[in-house]
């Protein structure tokens, strides 16, 4: 894909806001789930599902599709929102999040939901799965790419770094990992719990091509993905700096909103703030 045109940026900003609203309504209805990470990653998911990925919602098993692996499966409310808006299933099904028998569980389940390449759960396992898929694609001489979204907190897992080693050693340039660098995890700031910085230098030391971007800036996300596809003979790591809880004033940069139930009135306030942003965007974009 070429660099994002201004009209595409405007379109994707509105989509990202809509996805954020879906996150709030579905999590509030479920009375449990994660909000911080999904809201922070909404811009990236908007770019992936509505600009970047080669995929077909009407034919989820299309052989030539790009493979997208969600390693930090707990942020699935944003993936479900993106998939619903893209046409994988009806938007109204988002209201079944975390319900018994629903296809939309607290972590994506491959056998239940078409379009999910893997079943995620154990943090740190997703990149290893993505590396295996990318390696198999190379063996089969396939041209599609493998994308993997991963959280910064799960970099505390040893399995994740084994996958980093393997990908670097085998120069998997058909693999693009996107790190949600929001500096939070369930117990606080990552740098207080298990420091990760300098994260970019660590990936470079393992023979990865590293790109940093503002993960809440649609144009910059598009720029990073374009650079990633031009990289030569190395796996690519996009470190996306995001604001957890993006778009909701009382959630932003507050690690407690990694996941906690809404109190009365909180979901309504969140939706009101996001709807105000939507109104502002439409006015600015003359929609």
Structure tokens at 125: 């396992």
pLDDT score recorded for residue 1: 45
Reported confidence tier of residue 232, pLDDT bands at 50, 70, 90: confident
Residue 265 domain flag: yes
- The reported pLDDT for the residue numbered 3 is 72
- Give how many domains the chain has, as a whole number: 1
Q: Which of the four pLDDT bands, split at 50, 70 and 90, describes residue 286?
A: confident
Tell me the pLDDT tens digit for each residue of 167-211: 999 999 999 999 999 999 999 999 999 999 999 999 999 999 999
What's the domain range around 74? 6-285
Place of tokens 């944003």: 78
Quick check: 20 and 239 in contact, CB under 8 A? no
- 1 located within any domain: no
pLDDT of residue 122: 85
Quote the mean pLDDT of the chain: 96
4 band by pLDDT with thresholds 50, 70 and 90 = confident
pLDDT the model gives residue 181: 98
What ranges in the chain are assigned the alpha helix state H? 6-30, 36-40, 42-47, 76-86, 126-139, 158-169, 190-193, 199-205, 218-230, 266-285
Tell me, what CATH number does 270's domain have? 3.40.50.970
In-domain check, residue 123: yes
Residue 15: inside a domain, yes or no?
Answer: yes
**Residues belonging to the chain:** 287
Residues 46 and 12 sit within 8 Å (Cβ to Cβ): yes
Position 190 in a domain: yes
Torsion angle of the four alpha carbons 201, 202, 203, 207, in this order, in degrees rounded to the nearest 10: 90
pLDDT single digits (tens) 107-157: 999 999 999 999 987 899 999 999 999 999 999 999 999 999 999 999 999
Give the pLDDT confidence of 31-85 residue by residue, as tens digits: 999 999 999 999 999 999 999 999 999 999 999 999 999 999 999 999 999 999 9
Strand partners of residue 213:
240
Q: What is the pTM of this model?
A: 0.97
In angstroms, the CA 19 to CA 2 distance is 24
Name the nearest CA neighbour of 83 among 102, 55, 41.
Answer: 55
Angstrom distance (rounded) from CA 219 to CA 234 = 24
Q: Is residue 99 part of a domain?
A: yes
- State residue 213 phi and psi, 5-degree precision: -150, 165
Alpha carbons 62 and 83: distance in angstroms, whole number: 15
**Are the C-beta atoms of residues 237 and 259 closer than 8 Å to each other?**
no
């Amino acid at each position: 894909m070429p660099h994002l045109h201004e009209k595409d940026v405007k379109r994707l900003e509105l989509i990202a806001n809509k996805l954020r609203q879906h996150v709030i309504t579905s999590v509030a209805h479920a009375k449990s789930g994660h909000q911080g990470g999904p809201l922070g990653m909404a811009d990236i998911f908007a770019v992936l599902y509505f600009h970047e990925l080669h995929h077909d919602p009407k034919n989820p098993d299309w052989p030539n599709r790009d493979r997208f692996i969600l390693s930090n499966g707990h942020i699935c409310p944003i993936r479900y929102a993106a998939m619903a808006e893209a046409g994988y299933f009806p938007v109204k099904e988002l209201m079944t999040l975390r319900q018994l028998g629903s296809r939309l569980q607290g972590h994506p389940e491959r056998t239940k939901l078409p379009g999910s390449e893997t079943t995620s759960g154990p943090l740190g396992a997703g990149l290893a799965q993505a590396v295996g898929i990318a390696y198999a694609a190379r063996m089969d001489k396939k041209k599609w790419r493998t994308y993997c979204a991963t959280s910064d907190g799960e970099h505390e897992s040893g399995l994740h770094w084994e996958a980093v080693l393997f990908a670097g050693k085998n120069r998997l340039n058909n693999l693009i990992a996107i790190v949600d660098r929001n500096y939070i995890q369930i117990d606080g700031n990552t740098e207080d719990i298990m420091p990760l910085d300098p994260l970019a230098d660590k990936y470079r030391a393992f023979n990865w091509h590293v790109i940093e971007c503002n993960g809440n800036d649609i144009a910059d996300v598009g720029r990073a993905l374009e650079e990633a596809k031009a990289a030569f003979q190395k796996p690519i790591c996009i470190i996306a700096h995001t604001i957890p809880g993006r778009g909701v004033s009382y959630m932003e940069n507050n690690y407690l909103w990694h996941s906690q139930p809404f109190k009365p009135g909180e979901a309504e306030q969140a939706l009101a703030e996001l709807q105000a942003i939507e109104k502002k965007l439409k006015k600015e974009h003359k929609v």
